[in-house]
Chains A and B, each alone.
Chain A
């Protein structure tokens, strides 16, 4: 499956998504965040990409990017999807109704990049200790020498 084919099959229902080629995969779809559930349902049921590989988040200072990787056993290919949301109050619909395996990926993105997922069943922190107030994967979070870190942790 090529990027043109993916684009052709999505164009009718989703005129607002952009499909571009991405080497080694079936393509890369950029879509508006509001259409997440609809688009992912179509990708799963219509295009046959039924295996969610990962959900990741990137901090681009002014906005945050969410990317999804899905795999199709029929086409033997990966498909990339990504969307951008403003960094002001970053929140997005949870993907767990479509792909239950998004659960922990979204918990991780929530605590490390600070994105809130609406209607997520269980958005507790996963990796950081209880009460940890920082989002380490933000660009504004800098790594310190241990002496500084020690003082900081005692303050919390």
Chain B
């Protein structure tokens, strides 16, 4: 750690040469049939499998609640920090609050997530990135607006660059007040969301 070796300097001298790209002659993957995907969807597949055994009424009482039960106990939020609330978001996953005991595990890729926690001020510059991330998340998905900025612009409501509430961009399921909300408030918001998922019909 004291002196500096020559290695980084040697790397710096590397050339800017562009490598030629390999030619692609055939697709490297075999495409998945959309029908196969449809067949893998939980609710219709379960209905089809159990259709002969259960009545229509019993299906409604059994399959959807089962699906909701599984979904609400493993909410994967997107690992994305916007502003001040992101620090409290991180604290909620720290040692004291430990949000992971509710099955809430942050993931870094939107394609693995079903919960977008908007933890901070949303500016117009980031607005289309936020929408893109939301659209990359697979269905079913939920959004929590954490803090006053995400709810309605907060102290920066009158600023020229701030979106006055993230519900102008994406549909929001749960709003959490506070500037920033305490980690308990975030956990409360997540539990409220679980309640919403529990009552979800279709």
Contacts and interface: CB of A to CB of B under 8 A. Distances in A.
Do A and B associate with each other? yes
A22 interface: no
B153 interface: yes
A144 B159 CA distance: 8
A149 B160 CA distance: 7
Contacts of A150: 164, 168
A129 B158 CA distance: 17
A82 to B, nearest CB: 26
B125 interface: yes
Chain A, interface SS category: loop
B158 A143 contact: yes
Contact of B164 (A136, A141, A143, A146): A146
A149 B168 CA distance: 13
B157 A146 contact: yes
A145 B124 contact: no
B124 A129 contact: yes
B160 A143 contact: yes
Nearest to B152: A146
A143 B161 contact: no
Interface in A35-87: none
A153 B159 contact: no
Interface string B135-161: 000000000000000000100011111
Interface in A117-156: 128-129, 134, 136, 141, 143-146, 149-150, 153
Chain B, interface SS category: loop
A49 B153 CA distance: 42
Contacts of B125: 128-129
Contacts of A129: 124-125, 161
B124 A153 contact: yes
A145 B158 contact: yes
B124 A136 contact: no
B161 A128 contact: yes
A149 B164 CA distance: 9
Contacts of B160: 134, 136, 141, 143-144, 149
A129 to B, nearest CB: 4
A129 B124 CA distance: 8
Nearest to A146: B164
Question: What are the nearest 10 A-B pairs in CB distance?
Answer: A146-B164, A129-B125, A143-B158, A136-B160, A146-B157, A129-B124, A146-B153, A153-B124, A143-B160, A149-B160
16 contacts: A128-B161, A129-B124, A129-B125, A129-B161, A134-B160, A136-B160, A141-B160, A143-B158, A143-B159, A144-B158, A145-B158, A146-B153, A146-B158, A146-B164, A150-B168, A153-B124
Given A128-B161, A129-B125, A134-B160, 17 more contacts: A128-B125, A129-B124, A129-B161, A136-B160, A141-B160, A143-B158, A143-B159, A143-B160, A144-B158, A144-B160, A145-B158, A146-B153, A146-B157, A146-B158, A146-B164, A149-B160, A149-B164
